[in-house]
Amino acid sequence: MRVATLTNGQVLARFGHALSDATRTKLLLALRDGPGYPAELADMLGVSRQNLSNHLACLRGCGLVVAVPEGRRTRYELADARIAHALGDLLGLVLAVDPAACPDSDDQSCCR
């Protein structure tokens, strides 16, 4: 397996990419609470197993999640405990949203 060392900017860009999708964000938050198995995570998030598999592959590719084989099953967990801490810090932020810039707060298209 090839491993690359990333600059600070590249790390933040990967983290931002991971958080730019609602399902990946929910998945990271679920794994923040502890490791999980694909079938259980898919049920909890209300997505198909195939959809969850695609998101897990993305998060693995970004270096945020690792797959740990357990016999015939695979457990997924955050790659580093500091990711859970970073997510907690982000959850503690209070953002002042400009309604003129983002008229529909559920639509983040203003940030794309």
Question: Could you give the C-alpha distances from 99 to 31, 91, 111, in angstroms and in order?
Answer: 32, 21, 13
Q: How confident is the model at residue 100 (pLDDT cuts 50, 70, 90)?
A: confident
For the stretch 38-78, pLDDT in tens is: 999 999 999 999 999 999 999 999 889 999 999 999 999 99
Q: How confident is the model at residue 106 (pLDDT cuts 50, 70, 90)?
A: low
Q: Mean pLDDT of all residues in the chain? A: 87
The CATH class for the domain spanning 8-87 reads mainly alpha
Distance CA 52, CA 48 (A): 6
Report the interhelical angle of 38-45 vs 49-61 (nearest 10°).
110
Domain ranges of the chain: 8-87
